[in-house]
Amino acid sequence: MAPSSQNAMRLSFIGAAKSVTGSRFLLEAGASHVLVDCGLSQERDMASRNWQPFPLPPDRIDDVLLTHAHLDHCGLLPRLVREGFRGRVFATGPTAEIARIVMLDSARLQVEDVEQKKARHEKENRASPHPLLPLYTEKDAEAAAALFQVVTFGKPFPLKGDMEAEFFEAGHIMGSASIRVRAGRGAAARTVLFSGDIGRWDRPIINDPAPCDQADYVLMESTYGDSLHDKDEEIGGILEKIVTSTVRAGGNIVIPSFAIERSQEVLYYLNTLLRENRIPHLLVFLDSPMATKVTDVFGHWPEYFDAEMARLIRENRSPFDLPGLVMARSVDDSKAINRINGSAVIVAGAGMCTGGRIKHHLVRNIARAESTILFVGYQAEGTLGRAIVDGAKQVRILGQTLTVKARVARIEGFSAHADRDELLRWASCLKTRPRQAFVIHGEPQVAEHFRSTLEQKMQWSAMVPSPGQSVELDGILST
Ligand SMILES: [Zn+2]
């Protein structure tokens, strides 16, 4: 639906509304159409959303603004491009580089998944209810990567019509941003702030969030809007206990990990524990070609590191370079891990166990009482990772039904997402109350909880939009 007047702004919540993945928001002002994020829906029961038509034909979208390179924020871009989008995709330098790796990896996984499903169906002699096709291919991912334009924090730049955008450090993963869009002129001008994923203060590796201080409307993520994280100094202690007890039992420590930031953080903490002699020397496998590539990208953008990390790099002491680390690049390297005697730490993607090499390691370890499956990241509802965390007794992985006997542990403190108090700290950086806040990117009950927290603690007017809902921005004042 078009805005009713030239100055009106319409905002549509296409994804990550009452859910955590699939971030997609369309902002229309006058004749301009801007899409903020174009992410993949990763919850198992929401996968069909990735196939739904876009609310606007992609060739009518002028520009895309990308907050960061996580798959649930950029993973549907190749489909947008395949279906006719020809505008620009604005992102920071690290985001542009990492998003290309993420989109290519996603394309490969989707093509592989389709092949595996076809083979399984053939073996079991059953037909699929849907045509088995990948959502997009590597060619589409490369075409999307070619549309990126690099922007920097704190420098507003023009979009089509009377719009401009500015990126702010979000402190979530390297290059992550909150984005403020200004539309209209003079007294009719309005600003809309898209939080992206909000990070944390005083974390290793990347910079602290540097939030924006003014916006008329705010879309705010709420992934951990109802909880508080473990304290940072506890992470090392918990990890130490898990590693030593699993080694004593003779099992492996299997860590499903996100390739970006989290894998590097896990290596950082393991390195610290090894240096302090708090864990035995053991082999650590980084079985994720994507994590290896992303670790390389980190070296291209030193200005995005915090001061401590920049110092370590200058002194040639990369915290990712620990003794006993094996980067498994090929499939054969990955398979060789299964032949190792004794205990090892295996860090592999995907972080929510939705695909990738982690599935093979789970098949090998999940039914072994002496092994530990250690979760270090958020597990969305409907994913295999969430089922395991929630205590499933049996799981189905790669066509096999397996009994969960391994110890299941989790460390929340690793999170790259702000917890409730950190979200409130971010919100309090706004000098004046926004006209309206929209709580997005959270499971329904968590988003609702954080909405009421914003109303009580900040006296903000806040609502939780539904998927597909559109609001006319100044119009909502009168409703
Ligand atoms: Zn993210």
- What is the full DSSP assignment across 132-159? ---S--HHHHHHHHTTEEE--BT--EE-
- Which pLDDT score is estimated for 322? 82
479, pLDDT greater than 60 = no
* Residue 188 clears pLDDT 90, i.e. is over it: no
Which pLDDT score is estimated for 4? 47
Residue 246, class by beta-carbon neighbours within 10 Å (0-12 exposed, 13-18 middle, 19+ buried)?
A: buried
- Per-residue pLDDT at 205 exceeds 50: yes
CA of 423 to the centre of ligand 1 (A): 14
The number of CA neighbours under 13 Å toward the Cβ of 433 is 11
| Model confidence at 157: pLDDT above 80 | yes
Contact 362, 351 (CB under 8 A): no
Tell me the CA–centroid distance for residue 173 and ligand 1, in Å: 7
Name the phi and psi angles at 292, rounded to 5. -65, -45
Does position 226 have pLDDT exceeding 70, yes or no?
yes
* Angle (deg, nearest 10), helices 262-275 and 289-298: 80
Spacing, Cα 197 to ligand 1 middle (Å): 5
Residue 452 confidence (pLDDT): 97
Task: Give the Å distance between the CA of 260 and the centre of ligand 1.
Answer: 9
Confidence (pTM)? 0.86
Q: How far is the CA of 48 from the centre of ligand 1 (A)?
A: 21
User: How far, in Å, from the CA of 206 to the mean position of ligand 1?
Assistant: 14
CA of 431 to the centre of ligand 1 (A): 26
Q: Is pLDDT at 436 greater than 70 in this prediction?
A: yes
Q: How far is the CA of 130 from the centre of ligand 1 (A)?
A: 30
Predicted local distance difference test score (pLDDT) of residue 475: 59
* Token output for 354: 């939705």
What's the whole-number mean pLDDT along residues 3-13?
73
Kindly indicate the confidence band of residue 264, based on its pLDDT and cuts at 50, 70 and 90.
Answer: confident
Residues 6+ apart with CB under 8 A from 430: 211, 212, 213, 214, 215, 218
Mean per-residue pLDDT, 190-200: 96
- The alpha carbon of 348 and the centre of ligand 1 are apart by a number of angstroms equal to 18
Supply the pLDDT for residue 28.
Answer: 94
Query: Which of 46-60, 208-222, 298-312 is modeled with the greatest confidence?
Result: 208-222
119 Rama class: left (phi>0) / alpha (psi -120 to 50) / beta: alpha
Dist. CA 131 → ligand 1 center (Å): 31
Residues with CB under 5 A from ligand 1 (ion): 70, 197
Q: What is the pLDDT of residue 5?
A: 52
Query: What span, in angstroms and rounded, lies between the C-alpha atoms of 347 and 98?
Result: 19
CA 129 / ligand 1 centre spacing (Å) = 32
95 Cα: distance to centroid of ligand 1 (angstroms): 11
Cα-to-centroid distance, 176 and ligand 1 (Å): 8
The answer to whether the CB of 65 falls within 8 A of the CB of 73 is no
Please state, for a pLDDT cut of 70, what percent of the chain lies above it: 96
Distance from the CA of 94 to the center of ligand 1, in angstroms?
Answer: 14
Ligand 1 centre distance from Cα of residue 341 (Å)? 36
- CA–centroid distance, 401 to ligand 1, in Å, is 31
* Sign for the pseudo-dihedral over CA of 296, 301, 303, 304: negative
The residues near 180 (Cβ < 8 Å, ≥ 6 apart) are 165, 166, 168, 191, 192, 193, 194, 212, 215
Whether the Cβ atoms of residue 95 and residue 66 lie closer than 8 Å to each other = yes
Average pLDDT of every residue of the chain: 91
Best mean pLDDT range from 73-77, 230-234, 329-333, 379-383: 73-77
What are the tokens at 45?
């029961």
Residue 305: pLDDT band (50, 70, 90) is confident
Average pLDDT over residues 5-9: 66
The per-residue pLDDT for 164 is 96
Cα of 468 from ligand 1 centre, angstroms: 21
- CA 71 to ligand 1 center in whole angstroms: 8
Q: How far is the CA of 191 from the centre of ligand 1 (A)?
A: 23
Q: In angstroms, rounded to a whole number, what is the distance separating the alpha carbons of residues 311 and 54?
A: 45
Mean pLDDT of 288-305: 86
Confidence category of residue 313, pLDDT binned at 50, 70, 90: confident
Cα 250 to ligand 1 centre (Å): 35
Residue 255: in which H helix or E strand, if any? strand 253-256
Ligand 1 centroid to Cα of residue 391, in Å, is 25
Q: Give the separation between CA 61 and CA 52, rounded to whole angstroms.
A: 16
Q: What is the distance in A from the centroid of ligand 1 to the CA of 122? A: 37
Mean pLDDT to the nearest integer, 20-46: 91
